[in-house]
Structure 1
Amino acid sequence: MTTIVRLRESDRARPVRLTGEQARRLAAAGVVEVRPGAGAGTWLLRSDRTVGAARIGDVELYVEPKLPVGNLLFLLGYARDPKGWRKHRVPATDADGLMPALADALWRQIDQAIRPGLPQGYRTTEATSTVLRGRIRETRQLGRWPGRPVPLEIRYDEFTADIPENRILAGAVERMLRVPGIRPESRRMLRHLSAVFAEVSPLWPGQPTPAWIPTRTNTRLWPALRLAELVLSGRSIDVRTGHVAVNGLLIDLATLFEEFVTASLRAALQSRFGGLLIAQANGHLDHGRRIAVRPDLVWKKNGRVIAVADAKYKRHTPTADMYQMLAYCTAYGLPRGHLVYAAGGTPSRHVVRNAGTEIVCHFLDLGRAPADLLTEVNRLAEEIARTETTMASSIR
């Protein structure tokens, strides 16, 4: 019998009746926090930063985001394509939850995109064959089969449906079919689409998403491809924990927030104030280069670091974050560092005693409409640019 567990992101731990084996499997999968409860057979489950759906043995786990579904999909879309988010926004409703909404949008977009027929293109193939097709790879032929007429090492162009665009769409369909809790109609349509893509090479778990190039010939596929990439960008947990299959689709909100802040601040700073915003920059705290530091964001102009920032998917400001930012500012010789949090707090400034380093805490309200949220990011970029460029000018 399947045990269904429903949680809400960042809520208090919820008591759930589970067997000891079910609790062990959940803990081993690392999807949620699992602690013993007050009574026998009762366990406390909590998800702090992961949302989505997963089937772990005989447990179906659903974690809904606090954010509206549409806002979450906007963050996913903008983080991957800041320029195209308006054109390719996915309509969604909170009525049925994140995964049902995502599954419904996915099959509808793909069905509309391929209704005129599966797109095809040329694919270059290299093979060993007894029949000449295309061109002989002379170096390969002489190296492997010197003096022999067959087999032949050949290269040829094939007009086929097995192209990156179709592989991305097919991969998203297969990924979504492994997610529990989607509507029967969506599952039926996804199975239908899976059959349509039967001749397309599958994407195996862990395989990178193929690259595709937007062109006039594949314009009709763009919305479906963007959505498919969103599905594929979610962390798949199609793995095994011991002898138990674990599969589903999860989104790490801390990683997503960091990616959104990086993409949106890069667009705001570089386009208006120049310089280069670098994500996950490597640096060192000590002269011996043994103590590494790696802030989320470093803004450089004229080869010099003039600002450093970290994105935190939290609604408060732990002291540990202050220590971390102080280390970054010390490593780069900066008088100021920026911590960017996800809503819920009041902007604040803290000046470190005996050092004079200022740590500025900013908050972005992810529940606001996308345009309003981007306006907040632009204001944040203006504040960083105003104070940091003034500082840089005074040093020169």
Structure 2
Amino acid sequence: MTPTRRCISVREHGWLSTEPVRATLDCAQVSESAFEYLCRLSEQASRGGARLVQIEGQRRLKLDNFVGVVQTPCGTVLEILPKHHAEAGSLAEARALLRKLLEAVLDLPARGVGAAALQLFEAPLSEWVLGRFLRELDTLLGRGLRFDYQRVEEELPFMRGQLDLNQQLRQPPGRQHRFHVRHEVYLPDRPENRLLKRALERARTSTQDPENWRLAQELSSRMLEIPPSRQLKQDFRAWGTDRLLAHYRPVRPWCELILGEHMPLALAGDFEGLSMLFPMEKLFERYVARWLQRRLVADVTLRTPARFKSLCTQQDQPIFQLEPDLFISRGGEHWVLDTKWKLLDGQDRAAKYGLSQADFYQLYAYGQKYLGGAGRMALIYPRTESFRTPLAPFEFNAGLRLEVLPFDLDRDELVGDERMGLPYRAARLAA
């Protein structure tokens, strides 16, 4: 088994320090080398417009709103989990929430995994991903790998296939007994199998779970003759979709996740550890969009996001595009919804509940351009112990109203959605 690694679990916006601290979900100690690696990663990510951490001097850094796993060269595995409760909430609940969001947003197969199984699985996110990949790969190998005929040109002491006459005529004296031939060999060296082998190698060297390690070793011996992929993007583009490869579909999302192809944020660097980071606001936005898609009537148009209105024009050309997260239309009715991953305090009106004035300006612009100055809009935030019920409506004018609604991630429920008059299916309305 690979050397033991140290796993640190914290929530987004938590603190990491190289000095001794009392470990909680919001604060932890890391080694000097892990600290330096995270600083380098953040510097690389900031060049692409993302910010992983806020560096506070030489001893302390604050995590931003990315969630997932980062593995450092020194062996530290940093698990960053969602913070959907200000104070309450356990490690198991945060892990279960993140796994649920990823399964829904990334269309990961959920075979044989119910809510109870998710709650009982206490391993870090990385072990969950590796375990699911290994079990899907085991099922695939049980059904058989796809082979292909490949043209081989080689020199043999006997005839096989077709003689390459041009090469044979150039044969030097004393080697006339050797034959230059072309023939086809039935091999498993396909793009799909190369990618699975590459992901399996990463899983085998990354896992710390004895059962995952045992299964990875067994699968490695069964895929011994397959070379690992050296050109990930090219091989993923060449992944076949015909019916003969239908049994490959369940394993592909897990393979993409392990090899970084499912990642909103690409981590650059020489170290190739198992790292996967996701912006939490995007996970929340896409999860709410999927939730709505399952509940709205069939003739509704849902755009996520909408991109057909701009704030103004210049020389008859649109400028400053307006992009609400969710735009719902049915006939002549329209709704604008925006999601925000932020913890509100529904009792603190003096501090405006934690709402942002800039968000309200943005929603006002959406209302003018997408709804013509009259209609229903909503800002959707995660439901917490301090934000359990909708706030009183905000009136921009007599016809334009904004609701601030909590989305309960534990119960999968948009609290107060009846205020919006959304066109749900009959089963939803009856409920």
TM class by shorter chain equals 0.5 to 0.7
Q: Distance in 2 between matches of 1:185 and 1:13?
A: 32
Deviations 1:185-221 (A, max 9, x none): 5345435535617536626455684565485x55655
Q: Pick the aligned partner of 1:77 from 76, 83, 103.
A: 103
Q: Which residue of 2 aligns with 1:53?
A: 70
- For normalisation by structure 2, the TM-score amounts to 0.63
| Cα pair 1:170 1:202 within 8 Å, conserved | yes
**1:208-219 equivalences in 2 (<5 Å):** 209-210=236-237, 213=241, 215=243
| Cα pair 1:286 1:331 within 8 Å, conserved | no
Deviations 1:255-288 (A, max 9, x none): 222222222222322xx25122112221201144
Q: Which residue of 2 aligns with 1:186?
A: 212
Deviations 1:86-131 (A, max 9, x none): 77769544422221222223212311331243234689x9x99xxx
- For normalisation by structure 1, the TM-score amounts to 0.68
Q: Pick the aligned partner of 1:323 from 349, 361, 365.
A: 361
Q: Pick the aligned partner of 2:138 from 111, 115, 128.
A: 111
Q: Which residue of 2 aligns with 1:357?
A: 400
Q: Which residue of 1 aligns with 2:287?
A: 260
Q: 1:228 to 1:175 in 2, by over 3 A?
A: same
| Alpha-carbon RMSD | 4.4
Higher CA-based Rg: 2
Q: Which residue of 2 aligns with 1:142?
A: none
The runs of 5 or more residues in structure 1 that have no matched partner are 134-156, 388-396
Letter in 1 for 2:63: R
| Cα pair 2:16 2:61 within 8 Å, conserved | yes
Q: Which residue of 2 aligns with 1:144?
A: none
Q: Which residue of 1 aligns with 2:178?
A: none
Deviations 1:142-172 (A, max 9, x none): xxxxxxxxxxxxxxx9975355654554454
**1:1-396 equivalences in 2 (<5 Å):** 6-10=8-12, 12-17=14-19, 23-30=35-42, 32-36=52-56, 42-55=59-72, 57-58=73-74, 60-66=76-82, 67-81=93-107, 85=110, 91-92=117-118, 93-120=120-147, 161-163=188-190, 165-166=192-193, 169-170=196-197, 172-174=199-201, 176=203, 179=206, 182-183=208-209, 185-187=211-213, 189-190=215-216, 192-194=218-220, 196=223, 199=226, 202=229, 204=231, 209-210=236-237, 213=241, 215=243, 220-231=247-258, 232-234=261-263, 237-240=266-269, 245=271, 247-252=273-278, 253-269=280-296, 272-282=297-307, 283-288=309-314, 289-302=318-331, 306-316=334-344, 318-319=355-356, 320-332=358-370, 333=372, 334-344=374-384, 345=387, 346-354=389-397, 357-368=400-411, 373=412, 376=413, 380=417, 383-386=420-423
| Cα pair 2:406 2:414 within 8 Å, conserved | no
Deviations 1:352-376 (A, max 9, x none): 44575322222222234xxxx2xx2
The runs of 5 or more residues in structure 2 that have no matched partner are 20-29, 43-50, 83-92, 154-160, 162-183, 345-353, 425-431
Report the count of equivalent residues.
341
Deviation at 1:70, TM superposition (A): 4.0
Q: Distance in 2 between matches of 1:377 and 1:165?
A: 40
